[in-house]
Amino acid sequence: MTADTSAAGATWPQRIARWLLGAALLFAGTSHLTVARAEFLAQVPPWLPVDPDLVVVASGVVEIALGLALLIARGRARVWVGWAVALFFLAIFPGNIAQFTEGRDGFGLDTDLARGIRLLFQPVLVAWALWSTGAWRAWRESRTRRARPE
């Protein structure tokens, strides 16, 4: 039995993973702007030369946009959305590092162990974005095409 690869090469597990990630980003982005703003403020590194509340609001808006894009993008655009989401997860990683190194509590991460485990989850999010959108596969295929002799 082979996996269904219709809809631009996406398998059902990839679609479900993409929808879950999109929904999670929509929820997180909305939370940035509403009920969890203080929790997100704990993740803004103090050395960042920008108002922390602006960082939280801007990242919330970006998360909402990326979440929507994960849900509606099709074809080649979906691959680009995957790279954008992965880059976003890399861009916010310094906030997770600052939360760990400075011992800042937030989202129930109130021990070094919990904050350390959260750090280890960031690469999983990057991989999730690249796999669920087909971005990683598209990159591998483009490298294979370039490596073939003409």
Q: Which residues, other chains included, contact 10 with Cβ-Cβ below 8 Å and sequence gap of 6+?
A: 18, 78, 134
Integer-rounded Cα Rg, in Å, for the chain is: 17
C-alpha 63/C-alpha 58 separation (Å) is 9
Q: What is the pLDDT of residue 85?
A: 99
* Rounded-to-10 torsion of CA 55, 53, 101, 85: -30
Give domain limits for the chain: 10-147
In the chain, what percentage of residues exceed pLDDT 70?
Answer: 91
| Entry pTM | 0.87
Contact (CB, 8 A) for 47 and 85: no
* pLDDT above 80 for 63: yes
99-113 residue pLDDT tens: 899 998 888 899 999
Q: What is the pLDDT of residue 148?
A: 67
* pLDDT above 90 for 83: yes
C-alpha 28/C-alpha 17 separation (Å) is 16
C-alpha 150/C-alpha 45 separation (Å) is 50
